[in-house]
Structure formats: structure tokens, C-alpha cells
Chains A and B, each alone.
Chain A
């Protein structure tokens, strides 16, 4: 079953405060480039976990693979 990269983008952006996501993929394998203010001060591991946590058990299931690149954006409050 194919998954729309747009769905992943929207869910990441909805779940992570201040996130901007760019997701590409073939329906099973995806690349996500995510920047978010919420990443500031977090280790890379923690940043990636935030993204993984959006999808939980779907990873390895309907989302076969998700490749992630994260950057923290400056907080402009």
C-alpha cells in the first residue's frame, strides 16, 4: 500500500512545534528534511527520535523506511 509523502509532511509539521518538513518518497521509502525550533539544544539522536515518534509502529510497517535529516531553526519569539 502506497503512502503519500504529503501525509508524512503534514503529520510531522502538525506534531512537532515549529516544524517545516520536506518529504519525498516512492510510497514506501521516504526522505524527510525537517527543520524545527523544537530541535534547538537537542542532540541529533533526540531530534530524530522526535520525528520517529510521529509515526511509531508504522515505521517498518506501512512506512517501510524513513530517512531523516534534521536542523534546528532559530527561535524567533
Chain B
């Protein structure tokens, strides 16, 4: 248990979850998802026009290891809202279809048309941080 004393990766993941109201841990990034499950989850969030932060777990295997240790959830993607794990692709899809996702995200209405607008600006990546978080806030 000595490793729990200092675990920068775990700390970084915890602060990322705490600091971003909506954060998605995924394979790849929102513009280039590297897995169908991540792609579908991103598509749902984008169709809701809900800004979210995204972390690519692929660059460092420890991200996934520590994330799953923290969340108790074995697979990627993982969506957190207000610090709580909402679920992976299946749950996000199911909640989207039932309208629960809108509630969780604090959205009033189901938008009829997905907004296809591109984000105006690519956020830059902080090179010193152990996690690169793309912030779409």
C-alpha cells in the first residue's frame, strides 16, 4: 500500500474528474476516436451540444489502469458528470434514448437536430501534465 502515498497519475485523474463537470475518458480524441464505443459516446455528447472535457487514455497505459482502479469500471469509455461515473457506451446510449442523460447533464429539451458545428478552436495540450485534457468548455 506504500504506492498510494504518492501516485501522481491517480491524483491527476482525480483532479480532472473533480474539475470538469462533464469529462469523458476515451480512446483517441473527440475528433478522431480510436474505438467505436468511444466514437458513439462522443457522438451522443456532441449531438446534445453539451461541452465536455476529454482525456485520451491511449498515450499512457497507466491512465487506464488508475482510472479503472478509481472507478471500479473495467472498460473505456467512461463518462463522469459532477464527479460521478455515469457509465460507459452502453449506459450512455441507453440513458440518451430514455432521456435520462439529458437530466443528468442538466439539459431541458431533447434537441431535434444535432448541431454539426465544429468547435471554434482546438484547445492546446499542457505538456507538463500527466494527462492531456481536451477542454470543450
The answer for the CA separation of A34 and B75 in the assembled complex, in Å, is: 18
The answer for the CA separation of A57 and B10 in the assembled complex, in Å, is: 20
Q: Is the CB of A60 within 8 A of B91?
A: no
The contact string, 1 if C-beta is below 8 Å from chain B, for chain A 15-37, is 00000000000000000000000
Q: Is the CB of B89 within 8 A of A48?
A: no
Q: Is the CB of A44 within 8 A of B91?
A: yes
Does chain B have a CB within 8 A of A68?
yes
Residue of A44, A56, A60, A67 near B87 (CB, 8 A) is: A44
The answer for the CA separation of A67 and B90 in the assembled complex, in Å, is: 6
Does chain B have a CB within 8 A of A49?
yes
Does chain A have a CB within 8 A of B43?
no
Question: Given the known A-B contacts A52-B74, A60-B74, A65-B37, are A45 and B85 also in contact in the complex, defined by CB atoms under 8 Å?
Answer: yes
User: For the complex, would chain B's binding face be called helix, strand, loop or mixed by DSSP majority?
Assistant: mixed
Q: Is the CB of B94 within 8 A of A60?
A: no
Q: Is the CB of B90 within 8 A of A68?
A: yes
Residue of A49, A59, A60 near B72 (CB, 8 A) is: A49
The answer for the CA separation of A66 and B88 in the assembled complex, in Å, is: 11
Q: Is the CB of B37 within 8 A of A49?
A: no
Q: Is the CB of B94 within 8 A of A67?
A: no
> Hey, which chain B residues are within 8 Å of A9, CB to CB?
none
Contacting residues of chain A (42-68) with chain B, CB-CB under 8 angstroms: 44-45, 48-49, 52, 56, 59-60, 65-68
Closest to A46 in B: B72
Q: Is the CB of A49 within 8 A of B73?
A: yes
Closest to A58 in B: B74
> Hey, which chain A residues are within 8 Å of B74, CB to CB?
52, 56, 59-60
**Apart from A45-B86, A56-B74, A67-B90, what are 13 other A-B pairs with CB-CB below 8 Å?**
A44-B95, A48-B87, A48-B90, A48-B91, A52-B75, A59-B74, A59-B75, A60-B75, A65-B37, A66-B75, A68-B90, A69-B90, A69-B94
List of 4 A-B pairs having minimum Cβ-Cβ separation, nearest first: A59-B74, A52-B74, A44-B91, A68-B90
- Measuring CB to CB, which residues of chain B are less than 8 angstroms from any residue of chain A? 37, 72-75, 85-91, 94-95
